[in-house]
Chains A and B, each alone.
Chain A
Amino acid sequence: MSIDIETARKVAHLARIRVEEDRLPALAQEFNDILGFIEQLNEVDVEGIEPMTSVTPMRLKRRADVVTDGDQQEKILKNAPDAREGFFAVPKVVE
């Protein structure tokens, strides 16, 4: 498996990280180094082995599906880079 510049560009976009065009070749190379290391996993016989879903054999706790907190708009907005009139403000999303 080898990652080309086009794939690197696509991954950066999927991750929502702006990568300038001139950085893409180096990024593709770094991906290839890391993936080359990961490829060792192909040597392992995993036939019949389930993917791990929980590292400790515990049943997740359940609770009643009810509201347990809320009414803290001010606290939630406190750290926002741009909060106006009780909302998070972002650039225009819909034309």
Chain B
Amino acid sequence: MTELNKLTIAAARDALKAGDVTSVELTRACLTEIDAADALGAFVHKTPDLALEQAAAADTRIKAGDAPDMCGIPLGIKDLFCTKGVNSQAASAILNGFRPEYESTVSQNLLDAGAVMLGKLNMDEFAMGSSNETSVYGNAVNPWKVDGRNLTPGGSSGGSASAVAADLCLAATGTDTGGSIRQPAAFTGITGIKPTYGRCSRWGIVAFASSLDQAGPMTKDVRDAAIMLEAMCGHDPKDSTSADLPVPNFEAMLTGDIKGKVIGIPREYRMDGMPAEIEKLWSDGSAMLKDAGAEIRDISLPHTKYALPAYYVIAPAEASSNLARYDGVKYGHRAKLAAGDGINDMYEKTRAEGFGDEVQRRVMVGTYVLSAGFYDAYYNRARRVRNLIKRDFETVFAEGVDAILTPATPSAAFGLGEMADADPVKMYLNDVFTVTVNLAGLPGISVPAGLDAQGLPLGLQLIGRPWEEGDLLNFAQVLEDRAGFVAKPAKWW
């Protein structure tokens, strides 16, 4: 078997169970690739010793029989997940050196299933960004390249996307608050699913906007997303918003049969100035689903336009509250104080030094919209609009729509540094197709579906009914089969 790091989870699982390969061999193959891929900036804390220890334990478990599907599978973990004894910094200077004494529930679920952690992955600071350029570790780089330019892998789960697309690991965890799994997946030609709000426990994941944050897998294909998602999900008493619902066998739901199902095409997602190739990708995707027996229906989600502005009230408001805990007292960075500095000087200097520009901007915007006199005008109004956005979806689902097809992003990956001088709002527009899904708490998946004229991957997004990730993954599988996306980036790193 050649190049073990290039295997999918499903293929590796089968090979492990057949005894054709060991987890230690798989893990070593990935560790070798990781060490040769520093130019991608994907892995920011490598844990080779821990990985090999976990791999050896997985091999013992597999030999004993009846090991779970994820047993022995080497993964990368986004830096946002707290991992016991391993640096977990949310790519921020303010958490410099932070090594949790506990393990996040999602990463613990994966470890309990026998998965192997190769190390921690780059991301935007506190998951605030769409290009992985706000990280204290420096940029993560997209393995796809055009004209020798370094491109963004997207954000905030940029390191996860880059690592999976470059075959440094078999799959990775991501988190998605406004599109942070789906946009980077689309930019790098991989699959990423954000499950229904409440499917995955948020416990031990550094909080950004608690009513929007969800973890999910970033994988090489849809089947892998089904396998890994199942291992990540489940009720957790430590997160009161985690759903006490049975987790189905998602993989078993990949039947490929979508006959008679209804796919909605929302007219409001057809934006002015949408590039022709995105438009074509979208209509091709709809033709593929139609060809597989689905009914295609034009639908309206009238409040779509207000999703981004509502998000940019709600997410910063929640962030300003969540990030209040970084005060230089309990963990991470504390500023050097001058003689006579009091506790407020300590807070203010610590937070000025520890938070990057985008995080500071969002914390302050959040502080403003929550401040006396503006709470109703901004925060409450945004939460009302959020209800309307959710209702838009409820209405079309009640009318019989099973899933909704949209582009994943308004463009292919852009160059690192290209947006440096742009107004922050321009960067926010990256999330225009994904953010509605977080506001409504729905599951959404990005599937690679084609290449643009420059040869860069483009993704389509499918949005599902709440708790019906199984059906959603099945639609995605049909799209994947028909799109036949097999392109890989040429290795330059």
Contacts and interface: CB of A to CB of B under 8 A. Distances in A.
User: Chain B: interface secondary structure?
Assistant: helix
A37 B371 CA distance: 19
A93 B327 CA distance: 14
User: Chain A: interface secondary structure?
Assistant: loop
Contacts of A88: 329-330
A23 to B, nearest CB: 10
A40 B440 CA distance: 19
B99 interface: yes
Given A27-B364, A78-B101, A41 B385 contact: yes
**Which of A18, A40, A43, A92 neighbours the largest number of chain B CB atoms within 10 Å of its CB?**
A18
B298 to A, nearest CB: 23
B244 interface: yes
B244 A61 contact: yes
Interface residues of B, number: 74
B381 A17 contact: no
Nearest to B374: A1
B197 A55 contact: yes
Given A11-B368, A15-B367, A37 B328 contact: no
Given A41-B310, A90-B346, A49 B368 contact: no
The 6 A-B pairs with the shortest beta carbon distances in the complex, nearest first, are A51-B383, A55-B441, A79-B331, A18-B348, A81-B334, A46-B384
Contacts of B423: 33
Contacts of A33: 423-425
B336 to A, nearest CB: 11
Contact of A31 (B101, B243, B368): B368
Interface of B: 97-101, 196-198, 211, 237, 240-241, 243-244, 303, 305-306, 308-310, 312-313, 320, 324, 327-334, 337, 341-349, 351-352, 355, 360-361, 363-369, 371, 378, 380-388, 390, 423-425, 428, 439-441, 466
Given A18-B348, A61-B240, A49 B330 contact: no
A78 B371 CA distance: 34
Given A17-B364, A52-B390, A55-B441, 17 more contacts: A11-B368, A14-B367, A16-B344, A31-B368, A38-B312, A38-B369, A38-B382, A40-B305, A41-B306, A41-B381, A44-B303, A44-B381, A56-B243, A79-B99, A82-B334, A91-B342, A92-B342
B197 A15 contact: no
Nearest to B244: A61
Given A14-B371, A61-B244, A41 B382 contact: yes
Given A55-B441, A88-B330, A16 B348 contact: yes
A84 interface: no
A17 B312 contact: no
A50 interface: yes
Contacts of A60: 240-241
5 contacts: A14-B367, A40-B305, A50-B387, A90-B329, A92-B342
Contact of B466 (A27, A35, A56, A92): A56
Contacts of A93: 342-343
Given A16-B347, A52-B386, A81-B328, A46 B305 contact: no
Interface in A15-41: 15-19, 27, 30-31, 33-35, 37-41
